[in-house]
Structure 1
Amino acid sequence: MNTYFSYSDDWLNEHNAHHTAREISHQPQIWENVWTQLNAKKDVWQDFLKPLLADPELEIILTGAGSSAFAGVTLAPWLREHTGLNARAYGSTEIVANPLQYFSPKKKTLVVSYARSGNSPESVAAVKLADQLIENCYHLFITCNPNSALTKYATGSNKICELVMPEGTHDLSFAMTSSISSMMLATILVMGVNNFEESQQNVKTFADICRSKLNDWQEITKSLAKQPFERIVYVGSSCFTGIAQEAALKVLELTAGKIATRFDSILGLRHGPKFMIDNKTLVVCFLSGEAYTRQYDYDLFNEISHDHIAKCVIALSGKTDSNENILSLDTSLDDIWLIFPYLLFAQMVAFEKSLSVGLTPDNPCPTGEVNRVVKGVNIYPFSKQ
């Protein structure tokens, strides 16, 4: 019999939590599978991307809806710094409503679309609008469903490259977990590393860390979830701001809004959003390994801790730290690899909090007002006035 987070299959099935627990737990293996699959198909994506990324005038738009949008928010600043690529992140939900505020019709553009199902109305519409409005447009589809509307759209086009993530990433649970992490990893590997072959060691390192933390963090996250907090605030700098955004959404989704959430950058929190923190709030800080940035992270962590207002203040750190409220990974990995254990922790917190408030993680909204794949969106034809 399988167990996930020390829960048996029978218990998880009884509480409608099996898919979520399994999809969070199997991520370390999924990440290694992502590298292996990309390695097997590297001639395809390298032949497509290499000439595009070599063009200094290329504009890159990372897009998706919901969690898929936050993948772009996480990765775009890092890609700009570490590769020099002109990458920006916009939600497909933003693009569809007013595409010319985000597209540059005269600029050669690569649109990177993230999608779990590949069937969300905004995801498909954003791609079609890009082709309608941008004179020289290319697409990289990073998806988890080999039978999606985006897959059908890509058929026969030499301006579209699709990377379908390994089996098991098309999450059956309500919330995106292994899907979002695998799509982010794929982006880093095909667009952000100098040596693809050498990146395998980094993937193995953070995957192994996460395997060990699945056990170590289970009691911690369960204990946190049992505390009577009604709000969670996630904060982080640079690529961790996007992870904070995704972490906040996970709790909001899996508790069906019973727990209020907020995300912000480390320096942004003081500019008003700090009012969110009261004596029923859990604050989680994602600490950077970069010495310069970490100074700001520590300042805010110490400030909130010393305010003695929040119910609980904790932080996650790659580097070893003696503070008992900082969960250290004891690794020298760069920040871009730390997004995966940080995300894993946030997913585990959301899972346990969903159970603690009496909900079913696989479907926290059985009445159907909010759906796994968005419904009820009308897509209208666009014509420039």
Structure 2
Amino acid sequence: MTTLLTYTEDALKAQNGYWTAKEICQQPRIWREAAANVDSNRADINAWLAPLLAQSDLRIILTGAGTSAYVGDAIAPHLSQQTGRLVEAISTTDIVSNAPQYLLKNIPTLVISYGRSGNSPESVAAVKLADQVVDNCYHLVITCNPEGALATNAQGQDNAFSLLMPEGTLDQSFAMTSSFTSMLVSTLAIFAPQAEQVEIAAQWAEGFITNNVEALKEKATLSTQRLVFLGAGGLQGIAREAALKVLELTAGQVLSYCESPLGFRHGPKSLMDETTEVIFFSSSDDYTKQYDQDLLAELHRDDQALAITTLTKESFAHSEELIDVWAGLPYILYCQILAFFKSMQANITPDNPCPTGEVNRVVQGVTLYPLKAE
């Protein structure tokens, strides 16, 4: 019988965890498909983007809500470095509540909107607000749902282009997994393609799923009450997403926190105790690595944590290096699996960890208010 993350399909379906396990495990294939999808659509994408990128003062905003917002957090620093442009990650939840503070009327702006369903109320509202506030606004929609409002509203609009993710990325589970990483890979493939890094990331992940899942399942039995994720630069965006996955899949039973290694000393380190587990996302950058190593040495000297895990290429038994933005893919897969095991072991239902409905797969209960023209 087929097994996923050490569980049989029957066992997963009995605990309502089948889709979460399946969607985590399919990611290496999805990453390759997402990059290939961009390549097959590159002519149309470039034709639409070219006149926009010809504007030297073009502002680029990466936006989404929740996990979709963390796509931007994870890649904005890398894209700024690679393109020589200021690329900003601003969540739709910030744009909707404070549009005049984040949107600038006289600066041409490309808004890149992420959405699994494309139906989150803030995602749709952010697009409308951007068109209302910014004189010259353009929209690149990256979504997993061809029938969602983000995708359908972009159809027939000269200032909009919609790119659909590969089939299977419209996650059936509550938690976003392959949807998150497919949108991340697709954006990198558009603006800073590195085919060899996609392949290495997929190989890291495949090797881990094949050889290391049992050990991680055992590690997940630790009596962790707090999980801290630390990463520098774009890896802090991966840390945000990892912390959210733990919070979601354990229905809040395991509290989680994220920070940069340098930022952790400035107050947050006070949460360390014998129930706290630390997952440290190691940077491959020689300069950044110095700061990583300093904090790691300090945490080990303090000897307060329940456990400290440092993720590196060695953690994935791989010799080929990944730069940080691509290493974030196997790093987040590791954290998704850890969160999944914590959920299963707590007898929570991963596919719907909050069956009473206080938290929903697509956010509900948002009242949208009109922005008065100035």
TM-score range, shorter chain: over 0.9
By how many angstroms is 1:56 displaced? 2.0
Structure 2 residue 354 is the aligned partner of structure 1 residue 365 = yes
The aligned amino acid for 2:213 is: Q
> What is the DSSP-based 3-state SS (H/G/I as helix, E as strand, rest coil) of the residue aligned with 2:31?
helix
Structure 2 residue 304 is the aligned partner of structure 1 residue 312 = no
Q: How many residues align?
A: 374
Q: How does 1:253-292 map to 2 (within 5 A)?
A: 253-292=248-287
1:66 is matched with which residue? 66
Contact 2:141 2:160 in 1 (8 A): yes
2:334 is matched with which residue? 345
Contact 1:314 1:327 in 2 (8 A): no
1:39 is matched with which residue? 39
Structure 2 residue 30 is the aligned partner of structure 1 residue 30 = yes
Q: Which moved more, 1:47-56 or 1:301-310?
A: 47-56
By how many angstroms is 1:327 displaced? 6.1
1:378 is matched with which residue? 367
> What is the DSSP-based 3-state SS (H/G/I as helix, E as strand, rest coil) of the residue aligned with 2:168?
coil
2:166 is matched with which residue? 166
The 1:298/1:328 distance shift into structure 2, 3 A limit, reads farther
> What is the DSSP-based 3-state SS (H/G/I as helix, E as strand, rest coil) of the residue aligned with 2:258?
strand
Q: How does 1:197-236 map to 2 (within 5 A)?
A: 199-236=194-231
Contact 2:15 2:347 in 1 (8 A): no
Measure the CA separation in 2 of the matches of 1:73 and 1:89: 6
Q: How does 1:53-132 map to 2 (within 5 A)?
A: 53-132=53-132
By how many angstroms is 1:217 displaced? 2.8
Measure the CA separation in 1 of the matches of 2:365 and 2:76: 30
Measure the CA separation in 1 of the matches of 2:103 and 2:356: 37
Measure the CA separation in 1 of the matches of 2:366 and 2:60: 26
By how many angstroms is 1:212 displaced? 0.8
2:246 is matched with which residue? 251
In angstroms, what is the RMSD of aligned CA positions?
Answer: 1.2
Contact 1:317 1:329 in 2 (8 A): no
By how many angstroms is 1:302 displaced? 1.5
Measure the CA separation in 1 of the matches of 2:83 and 2:320: 23
2:146 is matched with which residue? 146
By how many angstroms is 1:328 displaced? 5.7
Counterpart pick for 1:356 among 342, 345, 348 = 345
Counterpart pick for 1:242 among 231, 237, 240 = 237
By how many angstroms is 1:36 displaced? 1.6
Contact 1:35 1:200 in 2 (8 A): yes
By how many angstroms is 1:204 displaced? 1.7
2:290 is matched with which residue? 295
1:323 is matched with which residue? none
User: What is the TM-score with the length of structure 2 in the denominator?
Assistant: 0.98
The aligned amino acid for 1:335 is: D
Contact 2:6 2:214 in 1 (8 A): no
Contact 1:103 1:134 in 2 (8 A): yes
> What is the DSSP-based 3-state SS (H/G/I as helix, E as strand, rest coil) of the residue aligned with 1:267?
helix
Measure the CA separation in 1 of the matches of 2:125 and 2:49: 23
> What is the DSSP-based 3-state SS (H/G/I as helix, E as strand, rest coil) of the residue aligned with 2:261?
coil
Contact 2:204 2:316 in 1 (8 A): no
The aligned amino acid for 2:129 is: L
By how many angstroms is 1:7 displaced? 1.2
Q: Deviations for 1:111-150, whole angstroms, at most 9, x for unmatched residues? A: 0000000000000000000011110000000000010011
Measure the CA separation in 1 of the matches of 2:204 and 2:338: 17
Contact 2:281 2:310 in 1 (8 A): yes
Contact 1:119 1:149 in 2 (8 A): yes
- The answer for unaligned runs of 5 or more in structure 1 is 194-198, 321-325
Measure the CA separation in 2 of the matches of 1:287 and 1:55: 36
Q: Which moved more, 1:115-124 or 1:296-305?
A: 296-305
Measure the CA separation in 1 of the matches of 2:319 and 2:275: 30
By how many angstroms is 1:54 displaced? 3.3
Measure the CA separation in 1 of the matches of 2:185 and 2:36: 12
> What is the DSSP-based 3-state SS (H/G/I as helix, E as strand, rest coil) of the residue aligned with 2:73?
helix
The 1:125/1:298 distance shift into structure 2, 3 A limit, reads same
Contact 1:5 1:215 in 2 (8 A): no
Measure the CA separation in 2 of the matches of 1:54 and 1:265: 34
Measure the CA separation in 1 of the matches of 2:367 and 2:35: 37
Measure the CA separation in 2 of the matches of 1:314 and 1:377: 38
Say which structure, 1 or 2, has more relative contact order (CA 8 Å, 6+ apart). 2
Contact 1:67 1:246 in 2 (8 A): yes
1:334 is matched with which residue? 323
The aligned amino acid for 1:291 is: D
Contact 1:316 1:328 in 2 (8 A): no
By how many angstroms is 1:64 displaced? 0.2
